[in-house]
Amino acid sequence: MAKNKEEKPKNTPSYDAKDIFVLEGLDPVRKRPGMYIGSTGVDGLHHLIWEITDNSIDEAMGGYAKNVTVELLPENKVAVTDDGRGIPVAVHAQTKVSAIETVFTVLHAGGKFGGDSYKVSGGLHGVGASVVNALSSWLRVEVSRDGGMYAQEYKKGIPQGKVKKIADSDKTGTKVIFAADPEIFQTMEYSVKRIMERLRQQAYLTKGVRINFVDRREDPISAYSFYFDGGVKSFASHLARGKKELQEDIFYVNKEYEKIAVEVALVYVEDIESKELSFANNINNPDGGMHVTGFRSAITRTLNTYARAEGYLKEKDENLTSEDMREGLISVISVKLGDPQFEGQTKARLGSPEARPAVESVVNEGLKDFLEKHPQDGRRIIEKVLLAAKARKAAKAAKDTVLRKGALDGLTLPGKLADCSSKRAEESEIFIVEGDSAGGSAKSGRDRRTQAILPLKGKILNVEKARLDKMLANIEIRSLVIAIGAAIADEFNLEKVRYHKVIIMTDADVDGAHIRTLLLTLFYRYFPKLIGAGYLYIAQPPLFRLQVGKDIRYAYTEDSDKEKMVKEMEKKGNVTISRYKGLGEMNPEQLWETTMNPENRVLKQVCVEDAEEADHLFDILMGDDVAPRKHFIQTHAAAVKNIDLV
Ligand code: 28G
């Protein structure tokens, strides 16, 4: 552990032997922060907060703390407070320093809270308070216990004095205030959204603890409080918001099995997609793992057994598959175990094999019991799964039919398609145009060599509720799939795409926006690779035509474009302004000049985020729930006028 003299940081105060040990203890953290907190970007910055709050949450899990508060303070400071036992103040016989100082200056100190219980929460790297201290330009810890309040301060991890008693106190708890070191981090900007999301999640996973968040950086301050008596049951209910729940009661179990705590909630909703969140020791495992495997086999087994016993499945019927069970299923799986084994750099998967039988057995037993007590919910669940099984078979049959019909070889291109003559996909474009009249203008105005036109009628179809089989039965969608020439969903093959620019061209009005949202959703759900490849675009037709004598110009935006142009043109005379209500109002030449000609036009490339947003908007506009739609329309009343509210 010997260090070269040159490696000592400059401008540090003189320190005694003990401090040199401390300095060397944390030196590697400042040298290679990424090794300890993942990155020095925005993720790493937030990681500091998680490390400190995890310690408070551990204290709460042990049953010692009831309240945890996170505060954002001016000057990029963060304060975390808990009302637990307070870090022990007493001087340790061997190290000769207070346990407080050890926790904050020795790497990995404070990791295990005594041998018997497991450290329950734990950030990505579980490295603790000393790492946060090392990466903070300043940190202060205040501990209340043993009748007093004690404090110590540090700079870049180096104590600026001993632990001192600063007041009498009859309370207990720990408070840590820190300022991340701007020399280490590329950004100092905390995200309220991120912090709130994390604290909310931790509150679900730590039943009965109240987690407060206060933003004191500006006046007036804002404060939030998260407290969920229902644990992951509340979490599942949160995930189901805006969707119609099929059950009267959310299924919930919370049981220990061979020293592993298993907490699971599930609810079926009227939706096709599923949400499955899994956690081990409060750490999210997006890639699942043994607990998820156990969960899935339990529901498959229990629901099949139940369906047979209750006569929903006959002897000759095949079993319902795990895939069928997932449709519309919202579930949260949380396990807590000693010494969890994770796989992958980011602990994305739980590897501990013992988690599997634990979850399997707890869910098997709990779900069987639930179905017996809630036959109504049992019936709804089985009906939903049976529907999914039926749809899966129908979708497969429909897909096979479409594929057999030659979507891939392009022999049966739709009659409505005015194809381009070029066969080179790199230079070919297809315009998906709303309505037959605009389609007519686009057909006459286009460059026939490289531009194809596909007019689509009306509002196609509600893709949200439509399953793949129904969608492919729809003639408009089928034309689109066949024209693109690369099949759909799982069968999609990017290399077969016939046009490297797929351009959505709709009117600049509410209906146009509606159809655009619909198409974006369709592409997002069934052609995500096409978006990823950067092949999807939105045409930008002009909003206004401005004319003074022979000077004709087009404006694409209301404020910046139009205002500027009008000011310029007014010098020459009276400006006639006409607003384009639809593509159909332009003659073929105008449409070519303003919107289709690669020399003049503006195309907006669609990125995954745009499509995701459309997908979300789509749910709001087309989903079953009227309330969020009403809310959306009221808050966006200026932009959205013609949408039916039923
Ligand atoms: C406010 C921000 C972050 C904490 C505690 C409580 C104890 C503790 C913390 O002990 C040292 C090592 C093993 C026992 C434990 C208090 C036992 C008895 C604690 C926090 C001592 C760590 N009394 N609360 N650490 N252990 N809150 N909040 O950091 O032997 S850290």
Q: Is 638 helix (H, G, I), strand (E, B) or coil?
A: coil
Which pair of tokens denotes residue 546?
A: 């401005």
Q: To which residue do tokens 């066949």 refer?
A: 482
pLDDT at 428 over 90: yes
**Residue 88 beta carbon below 6 angstroms from any ligand 1 atom:** yes
Look at 278 and 490; give whichever has higher pLDDT. 278
**Residue 103 beta carbon below 6 angstroms from any ligand 1 atom:** yes
pLDDT averaged over every residue in the chain: 85
Distance 52 CA to ligand 1 centre (A): 11
**Residue 173 beta carbon below 6 angstroms from any ligand 1 atom:** no
The 10s digit of each residue's pLDDT in 171-181 is 999 999 999 99
pLDDT at 72 over 80: yes
Closest CA to 134 of 43, 42, 14, 47: 47
**Which range has the worst mean pLDDT, 129-138, 245-254, 397-406?**
397-406
pLDDT at 593 over 80: yes
Give the integer Cα–Cα distance in Å for 477 and 519. 10
Percent share of the chain, pLDDT over 70: 83
Ligand 1 atom nearest 102 alpha carbon: 11
Q: Whose CA is nearest to atom 27 of ligand 1?
A: 56
The 10s digit of each residue's pLDDT in 89-145 is 999 877 789 999 999 998 864 333 333 344 545 444 445 899 999 999 999 999 999
**Residue 128 beta carbon below 6 angstroms from any ligand 1 atom:** no
- Is residue 256 flagged as an active site residue? no
Q: According to the model, what pLDDT value does residue 404 have?
A: 52
Look at 521 and 217; give whichever has higher pLDDT. 217
Ligand 1 atom nearest 99 alpha carbon: 11
The model's pTM: 0.65
Lateral strand order in the sheet of 260-268? 251-257, 260-268, 329-336, 275-280, 283-284
DSSP secondary structure of 129-162: HHHHHHTEEEEEEEEEETTEEEEEEEETTEESS-
Look at 53 and 560; give whichever has higher pLDDT. 53
Give the integer Cα–Cα distance in Å for 398 and 377. 31
- What is the arithmetic mean of pLDDT over 257-262? 96
Tell me how crowded residue 532 is: count the other CB atoms within 10 A of its CB: 13
- What is the arithmetic mean of pLDDT over 427-444? 91
Distance 27 CA to ligand 1 centre (A): 23
Cβ atoms of residues 168 and 81 within 8 Å:
no
The 10s digit of each residue's pLDDT in 460-484 is 555 445 565 666 667 777 788 889 9
CA atoms within a 13 Å half-sphere pointing along the CA-CB vector of 206: 32
What's at 474, amino acid-wise?
N
pLDDT at 625 over 60: no
Look at 251 and 557; give whichever has higher pLDDT. 251
Q: Whose CA is nearest to atom 11 of ligand 1?
A: 110
Which pair of tokens denotes residue 339?
A: 């010494």
Residue 561's H or E segment, with its range, is none
Distance 103 CA to ligand 1 centre (A): 8
**Which of 43, 383, 511, 568 is an active site residue?**
511
* Residues contacting 133, CB < 8 A, separation 6+: 26, 104, 105, 139, 154, 157, 178
Directed axis angle between helix 626-635 and helix 608-622, to 10°? Answer: 120
pLDDT at 68 over 80: yes
**Which of 434, 469, 476, 619 is an active site residue?**
434
- Is residue 400 flagged as an active site residue? no
Q: According to the model, what pLDDT value does residue 494 have?
A: 93
Residue 59, φ and ψ in degrees, nearest 5: -65, -35
pLDDT at 263 over 80: yes
Q: Beta 136-145 vs 77-82: how paired, if at all?
A: unpaired
Distance 634 CA to ligand 1 centre (A): 50
- What is the arithmetic mean of pLDDT over 213-232? 95
For the four alpha carbons of 379, 380, 384 and 390, in that order, the dihedral sign comes to positive
**Which range has the worst mean pLDDT, 204-213, 374-383, 565-574?**
565-574
Give the integer Cα–Cα distance in Å for 487 and 478. 10
- What is the arithmetic mean of pLDDT over 508-514? 77
- Is residue 215 flagged as an active site residue? no
Helix, strand, coil abundance in the chain, percent, nearest 5: 40, 20, 40
Length of the chain equals: 646
pLDDT at 358 over 80: yes
Distance 134 CA to ligand 1 centre (A): 19
Q: Which of 48, 55, 131 to mutate to test the pocket of ligand 1 (most atoms within 8 A of CB)?
A: 55
Q: Whose CA is nearest to atom 19 of ligand 1?
A: 87
Give the integer Cα–Cα distance in Å for 455 and 438. 8
Q: How confident is the model at residue 333 (pLDDT cuts 50, 70, 90)?
A: very high
pLDDT at 620 over 80: no
**Residue 59 beta carbon below 6 angstroms from any ligand 1 atom:** yes
Residue 557, φ and ψ in degrees, nearest 5: -130, 150
Q: Where are the beta strands (DSSP E) in 556-601?
A: 576-579
Give the integer Cα–Cα distance in Å for 572 and 547. 10
Q: How confident is the model at residue 614 (pLDDT cuts 50, 70, 90)?
A: confident
Give the integer Cα–Cα distance in Å for 354 and 336. 11
Look at 560 and 600; give whichever has higher pLDDT. 600
Buried b / exposed e over 460-485, threshold 16 CB at 10 Å, is bbebbebbbbbbbbeebbbbbbbbbb
Q: According to the model, what pLDDT value does residue 488 have?
A: 77
Distance 143 CA to ligand 1 centre (A): 10
Give the integer Cα–Cα distance in Å for 54 and 561. 51
Which pair of tokens denotes residue 216?
A: 């004191």
Look at 29 and 8; give whichever has higher pLDDT. 29
Q: According to the model, what pLDDT value does residue 99 have?
A: 92
Domains and CATH numbers, the chain: 3-226 (3.30.565.10), 232-392 (3.30.230.10), 413-541+605-639 (3.40.50.670)
Cβ atoms of residues 291 and 331 within 8 Å:
no
**Which of 507, 593, 615, 619 is an active site residue?**
507
pLDDT at 630 over 50: no
CA atoms within a 13 Å half-sphere pointing along the CA-CB vector of 235: 29
Q: According to the model, what pLDDT value does residue 382 have?
A: 97
Distance 86 CA to ligand 1 centre (A): 6
Give the integer Cα–Cα distance in Å for 216 and 224. 12
Which pair of tokens denotes residue 524?
A: 């997002």
Q: According to the model, what pLDDT value does residue 5 have?
A: 35
* Residues contacting 23, CB < 8 A, separation 6+: 8, 12, 15, 157, 158
Q: According to the model, what pLDDT value does residue 528 have?
A: 87
Buried b / exposed e over 555-578, threshold 16 CB at 10 Å, is bbeeeebbeebbeebeeeeebeee
pLDDT at 633 over 60: no
